[in-house]
A = this chain, B = another copy of it.
Amino acid sequence: MTQFTNVNINTKANIYFDGKVTSRTVEFQDGTRKTLGIMLPGDYEFSTSQKEEMDIQAGILEYKVNGQEWKKIENSGVFYVPANESFLLKVHSVVDYCCSYLTEED
C-alpha cells in the first residue's frame, strides 16, 4: 500500500461540481502540497494558478490542455498543465487522482 508519510491533511474536503469532483489537501514537511481526488463521469473544465502534475491512479479519462490535442489515459498516466492555463476533461469511469502543485522549475 503506497502512503504519504508524516503529512498534514485538511479534515474538510474540497467539493466541486455538486460533489462529482472532490479532493483532500495534503501538506508535506517541505511545505509542498498535493490534493488526492475523485472525479465521477462527466465533462469538466478547470484552470490552474500554479503548474500542476495530474497523476491518474485509476479510471479512464480524456484531457485537453488549452492549445493541445485531446489525449486519453486508461488506468494510469500523468499529464502536466502550465500555470494560469485551462484544461478540459471527459471522465469516462471513476478517476482516482493525485494532483501536485509545482513551481515552473519542477
Contact = CB atoms under 8 A, between A and B. Distances in A.
A11 B15 contact: no
Contact of A38 (B11, B19, B26, B27): B19
Contact of A11 (B4, B11, B18): B4
Q: How many copies are assembled?
A: 2
A83 interface: no
A6 to B, nearest CB: 5
Classify chain A's interface size. Answer: 20 to 34
Contact of A6 (B1, B6, B40): B6
A12 B2 contact: yes
Nearest to A14: B96
Contacts of A36: 9, 11, 13, 24
